[in-house]
Amino acid sequence: MTSTPMDQEQPAVDRAYRALDAARSSYRRQQRKAEAAGAQGSPQARSERDAIAAHFGDQATRLEQVEDKLVFGRLDMTSDHAPSPRYIGRVGLSEEGKTILVDWRARAATPFYRATPAHHEGVVRRRHIGTKLRKVVSVEDDLFDVSASENVSLAGEGALFAAMNSARGGHMGDIVTTIQAEQDEVIRSEAKELLVVQGGPGTGKTAVALHRAAYLLYSEREKLQRSGVLIVGPSRRFLRYIEQVLPALGETGVVSVTMGDLLPGISAVSHDSDALARLKGSLEWIKIAKRAVASRRRIPEAPITMRVSGVTVTLLPEDVKAAARRAKQASRAHNVARTTFALTLLEKLTDSYLAADENLSSSDRAWVREELRTNIDVKRNINLCWMPESATALLRKLYSRPQLLAACAPSFTAEQVAALQRPTDAAFTVEDIPILDELAELLGPSDVFAAAARERVARQEQAIARAQQALDMDGLGGGIVNAQLLAERTQGQADSSTLAEKARADRSWTFGHIVVDEAQELSPLAWAALLRRCPSRSFTVVGDLAQRTGTSAKDWTEILGPAARGYSGTAILSICYRTPQTIMEAAEKVARALGRPIDYPVKAVRDLPDCLRLHQSEGLARSVSQLAQIACEELDLEHGTGQGQVAVIAEKEIRQKLTFSDPRINVLSARASKGLEYDVVILVEPIQMQDRPGDLYVAMTRPTKRLEVVYSEKLPEGFTSK
């Protein structure tokens, strides 16, 4: 019986899974060994062994997450490019000291993504291997070096087209098996500076950014495993959509947030109008914030007399001024400096108290200081000179007190000040978050939190020293665990927080790298907030100028604002793997007709017949319901029952009238659909979006198969089915 290409590849896949099982078992054994020793020795020794056990457990868990589609590629190389064949997978694996599976991020795997017939890099044949439950189910081949291919057989039609034609699910899948050459160039580029990835709809820019994060976590693990990677997405729906990509690639040291969730303890979802968003996103708020914080400090115009336990003490303006000067030298942060300010004034008032009562001596100083510290009048008057403040309370004061805002923002017109007014109990918007972050930076933490931070640093230094001693004495780790890692693990036993949890809870956390998706939407002030979280300016910035919601920016330098100083260049993705060419051409035509230039047009790799349909209807809800039902039935027939995703994109008034029982049908706004994709998109009344050409362009370019346009009277300029 003749064997198939799938049969031929099964032994190599079996071998890789045996190695994976062995590695996981080894980590679990070492975990159990460390746990077994944990009952002996001092409490500190037990804690350190628990940390080592946790480390081995994490390694086993990481390997358990790459179970699905472990092996996905094979390279057959020319004789001068050993080893051959070379199998490519999600992680690297060895057997008896010999590499049997190459991590897709390793240098040896690069030809799998870069080779072309013109530049084959020693590759004779590239084979994509599809597996399901450890069984090889498909093989797709690409031939690159015809002269060396006499004994090479080919199979399949191509992995990329198979991936494009598959049904969409509720979560993004990784593209590790189908990364294209222009995408791989971006993924493997260095992380020293800010890189912009400009890509039109369907070019895979989000997937590229996520795989770049995974690549950096592999190539710069020593740096990033302690600081982590921050991913900033446009919406929570988007973050849910991408949440499975990095774990499937074996990486978990990542924090994912929207700008609305950037600050611990604050969550903002709603957005301001475009005009108000532009006002709140201005860098002018840096000056406004400084003036607002300064307004929390004042020098009294005259001496303040107070009666404390029968003794009169006086708070002098010159003493307040001297204390303020000393406090500013001690710290730039308002709340932290306030501690120095208050202590300095307490010492002055103590001197005044002792001088006023001749029955007291210097030995009574501690008692007098405590009397003053707990006196309500003393506390009130010191607070009035240097008010403790929180960012949220101060911004609420600015928004609810027009005179205060006008004094702090002299460049704002009366109309702008009025536009910013709102009640003190109003919820914060996404656009408020960068302002709050600016205020929080100037105010600083309370003195309690500042002391806790200093204590954490001291504990970390002591823990590293103890960890090194434990490793030396017990011989644990075998070179896998170092003192830094053990110290972090040991301390982590107290709160069991992951890196992501710690970073999410700490506003001052700095990341080793930041990925920003849909970056064209960020304001200059938002960029300032992100720069604060990555002083090294190591960013991957992905977006599309044509999809910007507000007015179109001229270029990325303008978009980046204060981040432009670290701008190292733009990588352009020009090939659309999602949307059929007919739909792309229609979307670009409509955008240009509405005044939105498409400076970076893309070329779709395929087209589909009858993929753009226009429906004029008086009963919009009925028509949309029928089209959605038909779309689901067609997806059931093509891909199986319950497979695929349908989107209904419309303005709020229309969305409120639509209800569907099928969970595959998603009803959302154009803005909420950014970064997402669906098999079929039903676009309702696009005329209502014509004043936001960027949003309309986004809505039209979400489908992978078909765009249904439903309208009652007329379509925006530029619409055509041809």
Q: Which residues are annotated as a binding site?
A: 199-206
Annotated binding site for ATP: 199-206
CA distance 455 to 462: 11
Task: Using alpha carbons, list the distances in angstroms from residue 360 to 308, 355, 373, 674.
Answer: 14, 8, 18, 72
User: Considering all CA atoms of the chain, what is the largest pairwise distance in Å, rounded to the nearest integer?
Assistant: 112
CA dihedral 197, 203, 209, 212 (to 10 degrees): -100
| Phi, psi (degrees; rounded to nearest 5) at 265 | 85, 0
Indicate the residue type of 665: I
Judging by beta carbons within 10 Å of its beta carbon (0-12, 13-18, 19+), is residue 458 exposed, middle or buried?
A: exposed
How, if at all, do strands 513-516 and 229-233 pair? parallel
Q: Which two tokens stand for residue 88?
A: 């490519």
How, if at all, do strands 646-649 and 665-668 pair? parallel
CA distance 327 to 385: 12
Indicate the residue type of 366: A
* Full 3-state SS string of 66-89: CCCCCEEEEEEECCCCCCCCEEEE
The SS3 assignment for 313 reads: strand
The SS3 assignment for 490 reads: helix
- The candidate with the shortest Cα–Cα distance to 536, out of 255, 240, 294, 220, is 220
Tell me if 295 sits within 8 A of 442, measured CB to CB: no
CA dihedral 401, 404, 410, 412 (to 10 degrees): -10
CA distance 651 to 362: 75
CA distance 254 to 235: 17
- The candidate with the shortest Cα–Cα distance to 460, out of 499, 498, 491, 482, is 491
* Full 3-state SS string of 228-245: CEEEEECCHHHHHHHCCH
- The candidate with the shortest Cα–Cα distance to 9, out of 99, 134, 144, is 134
Beta-carbon contacts of 355 under 8 Å, excluding residues fewer than 6 positions away, are: none
Q: Looking at the DSSP assignment, which residues form a beta bridge with residue 254?
A: 229
| Phi, psi (degrees; rounded to nearest 5) at 144 | -115, -40
CA distance 65 to 246: 10
CA distance 712 to 687: 10
- The candidate with the shortest Cα–Cα distance to 583, out of 711, 716, 685, 698, is 698
Label residues 61-76 b or e (16+ Cβ within 10 Å = b): ebbebbeebbbbbbbb
* Full 3-state SS string of 156-194: CCCHHHHHHHCCCCCCCCCCCCCCCHHHHHHHCCCCCCE
**Long-range interactions of 647-650: CB distance < 8 A, separation 24+:** 647/673, 647/676, 647/678, 647/680, 647/681, 647/682, 647/702, 647/703, 648/624, 648/681, 648/682, 648/684, 649/673, 649/681, 649/682, 649/683, 649/684, 649/699, 649/702, 650/624, 650/683, 650/684, 650/685, 650/688
Please tell me what DSSP assigns to residue 364: G
Q: Which two tokens stand for residue 179?
A: 């990364």
